[in-house]
Amino acid sequence: MNAPVRRRLTLDVSDLPGVAFGHRNTTWLANVFFMVIEAMMFALMFATYFYLRTRSTDWPPGHLPPALQYGMANAVIFLVSVVPAWTVRKRAPEGDRRAVKNGLLVLTAFAVAATILRIFEFSTLNCRWSDDAYSSTVWVLIGMHSGHLVTELIETVVLLAISFTPKMEGTRLADAAINSDYWYFVVITGLIVDGLIYGTTRFL
Amino acid sequence: MAVAEPILGNDQDTGQSVLAHRLARTWRQPRGLWGWFSNTHHTDIGIRFMVTAFIFLLLGGILAVLIRLQLVRPENSLIGPDLYNQVFTMHGSTMIFLFAVPMMFQGFGVYVVPLMCGARNIAFPRLNAFSYYLYVGGALVLWGGFLTNTGPDVGWFAYVPLSGPAYSPGHRADIWSQMITFTEVSALGVAICIATTILRYRAPGMTLNRMPILLWEKLVISLAVIFAMPAVMIASGLLLLDRLVGTHFFNPAEGGDVLLYQHLFWFFGHPEVYIIFLPGAAIVSTVVECFSRRRIFGYTPIVVSVVATGFLGFSVWVHHMFATGLPQLSESFFTAASLMIVIPTGVQFFCWVATIWHGRLQLRLPMLWCFGFFFVFLIGGLSGVMLASVPVDLQVHDTYFVVAHFHYVLIGGALFPMFAGIYFWFPKMTGRIADTTLGKWHFWLFFIGFNITFFTLHFLGLHGMPRRVYTYGPDMHWHGLNAVASSGVVFMTAGLLVFLVNVFRSLRTGETAGNNPWGDAGLEWSMSSPPPPYNFLHVPTVGGRDPLWDDPPDQPVVVGLRDDIRETLVTHSLDADPQHKDEDPGPSIWPFLASVAVSAAFVGSIFTPWAVPIGAPLVIVTLVGWLWPHGPSPTPRPAEEV
C-alpha cells in the first residue's frame, strides 16, 4: 500500500520579476540611506559654517567673497545636467539601452566639465584653507562636494563602460536609473553649497 | 499572489534531501585561506564580528585591570602618567568603538537579523564583509599605535584643545581620529545592510505589526547609526584636518571654537549610548518572552518606546556639556529632555516585568543574565536621572560618580544582555548548549565583582576623586574605597575566565542542541543548528508575531525560487508581500581587497595628505572590481519585459 499523500500549502513566486525599478529596488533603498548619511554630513558642515559665523563680527573675516564666475558656471552645468540624468532614469525601466547609453555619455561629459570647472573654482575662492576658520570651512565644504562629484563621475563612467557591453540589461539598467538619483543629490547639495559660500558671504 | 496547493507526494523526504543538496552546493562558501577572505555569508561574518569584538573586550578588560591595579593604593608607581593616559584612552576607545557597537549592533545584528526575517542571507553581503574588514583595520591601527608607544592619550572623546596640534604633537591623536573613520564607516555599512534586510527581506506575512521586537530595535538602531555617526566622522575629520593640514576649525585664535567639537562629538555620543543599549534591550525582550513562555506583554508600547528612544536620543547631547557655561534656558531644556527619556525606558522595563509576572518563568542561563541586567541597568538609570539635573551634574562632573554611572549603564545595558544573548544563541551558532553550572559560576562571579567595583566608585566620586588621575596622595583618604573597588576586578576576571572555559568545553563536549532547544518562537529556531549555508530549505511564510508558536504545521512555504543560483525573495517594506526576486552576489575577494586599499589610504593620510590622491586609484580599482558584473546576468529577461 502506498504511503499517504502529503500536501503542503505553498506560495509560488516563480512568476515574480527578477528586476525591480524605482523604490522597489533594494539598491535604491541603500542609495537613499547613503544619501541620508551624506546629507547629514553636509548638514553638520552647514551648521558648522553658521556656528563659526557667530564667532566673527565680519563675514568673510578679512577676505573678499569668493569670485562668482566659475561657481556660477558650475551651477548652470548642474542645472542643465539634470536633463540627461532624467532621461536615463526614465528610459532605463523601458529597457531603452541606446537612450541609456547616450544619456550616460552626456552625463559623463557634464560631470567632467563640472570637475574641471571645480578645479578653477578652488583658485578663485579668495582664501586659503589655512588662513582662518572661515576659509577652512569654505574649503572643506567645497572639497566635500568635490569628493561627491568625482565619485559620481567615476560611477557614471563605469556604467557608461558597461553600457557598451551586452551586460547593460536587467539590474544594470536599474543601477543606471539609481545613478541618476545620486546625480540629483550631487546637484542639489552643489547648489546649496553654492548658495552658502557665494550667497551668504555677500548677503549675510 | 495566489496560494497553490500542489501534491508533494510520498517521496517528499527524498525531494527535500535533493533540494537541500542543491541549495548547499549553490550557497556554499569557498574554502581555504582565499575562501575565508571571500566569504560573504552573514552567519560567518556575524560570528567573526562577535569573536573579534570579544577579543577586544578582553584586551580592554586587561587595560581596566591595569587601571585598577595602579589605583589600588596612593602614589603607586606601577604605571607612569604618560602610559596611564594611553591606558585609559585605549580602554574607553576599545570598549566603545571596538567592542560595544561591533558586538551589540553589528555582531548580533548580522548573525540574527536575516535568520529572524526568514532570509537566506543579509542584503548587500559584500558591503557587510567589507565593513567587517574595515572594522578590523581600525582595530589594528589603534592597537598597533598603542603597542608602538603611539597610543592615543587624550581620552576616548579626544576633546580639543588637548587633542589639537598645539597640545598633542606626534601622531597619537591622529591614530584615534582615523580609527573613528574606520569603525564608523564599518558601522554605517552594516546599518545599511541590516535596515535593508529588515525592510525588504522579511518572510511573506511578516508585516510590520508582526515583526519581532528585536527586528524593530535593530531597525531603529540602524537609523540612529545612519543619522548619528556622520557627526563623529565630521568631528574627528575636522580634528584631523586641523592637525595635519593646518585648518582652524577648533582654533579660537583664528575664528574657530573648541565647543564646536563638543557639540559635534556629543551629537553622535549620546545617540551612541542608545545604539549600545537598544541591542541589549532587544536581546532582553527576546529572552524574556522565550523563558516566560508567553507572548511579550505590551508589544505596541514597547515598539513605540523603542522608536521614541531613537528620537529622544538625539535631543539630549548637551547634558554632557552642562559644565561648559551654557545659557540657562538651554540647560533647562536639555535637563527636561534627559529626564524624559526615562519614560520609554521605564515602559520597556514594566512590560518585561509584566511578561515575567504573567508567564511561567524558566530561570535558564540567558534569563539569569537578564535579571542581572534589570538590577544593574536600573541603578545606572537612577544615577542617570540624578545627573540630568544641572546642580548635581556640576557637583560630580568629571568625578568617579560619573564613571560609576556610565559603567552601570553600559555594562548593565550591553555586557549583561550580551552574555544573555551569547548563552541564548550559542546553541544556534555552534549546535551545542553551554554548560549551565559553569554559566552560573560565571554569572555570580561577574555580578558580584561588578557591583563591588562600580558601586564603590559612586562613593569615591562623592568624595571628590576626579577621573583620569594616574594617582592620588594618601592625605585624600581615597585608598580604602579604591582598594575595595580594585578587589572586585578579581571576581570579574575569574568570571570571564570561567566563561572562556565554558565556551571551549561546550564547543567540544556540550549537550547537542537540536533545532530549537529553548522552544522559542523565532524563525531562527526552525532550521538545524548551526544553520546550513542557505539558512532555510524553503523560505517560510509567517502568520503571527511568534511564528513557531502561532503558525499551524501546514503554514505555507515559498516555492519557485531557483536552486541553481542564489536567488532571494524581496518583499514589501510594510506588509511583506512578495514583490520580486533578487540575486545574492555570492562570495568575492574584492570586498577584502577594497578594505585593504581603503585602510592603506586612511593610515597613509595620518602621515601625509598625499596618501589620499595616491590611495584613491587603488580604491577605485578595487571598487570597480567589486561592482563590475562578472558572468552572465542571473535573470536574463526578454526586452519587452525589462
Instruction: Give the domain ranges of chain A.
Output: 31-51+66-203
Contacts B582 to A, Cβ<8 Å: 18, 26
Q: By C-alpha distance, which of B275, B437, B276, B450 is closest to B364?
A: B437
Q: Do A40 and B246 touch (CB under 8 A)?
A: no
Nearest Cα of chain B lies from the Cα of A170 at a distance, in angstroms, of 6
Is ipTM strictly over 0.90?
Answer: yes
B17 vs A4, more confident: B17
A6 band by pLDDT with thresholds 50, 70 and 90:
low
Fold topology of B41-587: Cytochrome C Oxidase; Chain A (1.20.210)
Asked if A30 has any chain B CB less than 8 Å from its own CB, the reply is yes
What is the spatial distance between Cα B45 and Cα B42, in angstroms, rounded to a whole number? Answer: 5
Interface test with A, best of B117, B128, B225, B248 (most A CBs within 10 A): B248
Check residue B11 and give its pLDDT. 52
- Are the C-beta atoms of B40 and B594 separated by less than 8 Å? no
Asked if A95 has any chain B CB less than 8 Å from its own CB, the reply is yes
What is the average per-residue pLDDT within B212-230?
Answer: 97
What is the average per-residue pLDDT within B388-395?
Answer: 92
Does the pLDDT value for residue B642 go beyond 70?
no
Closest residue in chain B to residue A30, using alpha carbons only: B192
The answer to whether domain A31-51+66-203 has CATH 3.50.50.60 is: no
Q: Do A52 and B260 touch (CB under 8 A)?
A: yes
Asked if B6 has any chain A CB less than 8 Å from its own CB, the reply is yes
B583 band by pLDDT with thresholds 50, 70 and 90:
very high
Residue B522 contacts by C-beta under 8 Å, 6 or more apart in sequence? B115, B116, B212, B214, B286, B546, B547, B548
What is the spatial distance between Cα B540 and Cα B552, in angstroms, rounded to a whole number? Answer: 12
Structure confidence by residue, pLDDT tens digits, A58-105: 889 999 999 999 999 999 999 999 999 999 999 999 999 999 999 999
What is the average per-residue pLDDT within B625-634?
Answer: 74
What is the average per-residue pLDDT within B77-82?
Answer: 95
Least confident of A5-19, B90-104, B346-360, B476-490: A5-19
Percentage of chain B lying above the pLDDT 70 cut: 96
Q: Where are the domains of chain B?
A: 41-587
Check residue A1 and give its pLDDT. 41
Closest residue in chain A to residue B188, using alpha carbons only: A37
Q: Do B196 and A139 touch (CB under 8 A)?
A: no
DSSP count for chain B of H helices, then E strands: 22, 6
Check residue B187 and give its pLDDT. 97
- Are the C-beta atoms of A32 and A179 separated by less than 8 Å? no
Nearest to B255 among A3, A24, A52 (CB): A52
What is the spatial distance between Cα B57 and Cα B103, in angstroms, rounded to a whole number? Answer: 9
- Are the C-beta atoms of B239 and B167 separated by less than 8 Å? no
Check residue B632 and give its pLDDT. 58
- The three cell numbers locating residue A154: 567615476
Does the pLDDT value for residue B638 go beyond 60?
no
What is the average per-residue pLDDT within B481-499?
Answer: 97
What is the average per-residue pLDDT within B425-443?
Answer: 97
Average pLDDT, chain B: 94
Check residue A203 and give its pLDDT. 83
Q: Do B559 and A139 touch (CB under 8 A)?
A: no
Nearest to A20 among B6, B570, B624 (CB): B570
Asked if A129 has any chain B CB less than 8 Å from its own CB, the reply is yes
What is the average per-residue pLDDT within B285-298?
Answer: 97
- Are the C-beta atoms of B99 and B123 separated by less than 8 Å? no
- Are the C-beta atoms of B199 and A29 separated by less than 8 Å? yes
Check residue A8 and give its pLDDT. 73
Check residue A9 and give its pLDDT. 85
What is the average per-residue pLDDT within B190-209?
Answer: 97
What is the spatial distance between Cα B518 and Cα B424, in angstroms, rounded to a whole number? Answer: 8
Asked if A115 has any chain B CB less than 8 Å from its own CB, the reply is no
B8 band by pLDDT with thresholds 50, 70 and 90:
very low
Percentage of chain B lying above the pLDDT 90 cut: 90
Residue B546 contacts by C-beta under 8 Å, 6 or more apart in sequence? B289, B295, B521, B522
Does the pLDDT value for residue B12 go beyond 70?
no
- Are the C-beta atoms of A95 and A173 separated by less than 8 Å? yes
Nearest Cα of chain A lies from the Cα of B583 at a distance, in angstroms, of 8
Q: Do A9 and B3 touch (CB under 8 A)?
A: yes
Check residue A45 and give its pLDDT. 97
Show which of residues 573-602 on chain B sit within 8 Å of chain A, judged by CB atoms: 578-583
Check residue B17 and give its pLDDT. 86
Nearest Cα of chain A lies from the Cα of B326 at a distance, in angstroms, of 15
| SS3 label, residue B568 | strand
What is the average per-residue pLDDT within B524-534?
Answer: 96
Does the pLDDT value for residue B10 go beyond 60?
no
Q: Which residue has the cell 508575531?
A: B545
Average pLDDT, chain A: 93
Structure confidence by residue, pLDDT tens digits, A134-160: 999 999 999 999 999 999 999 999 999
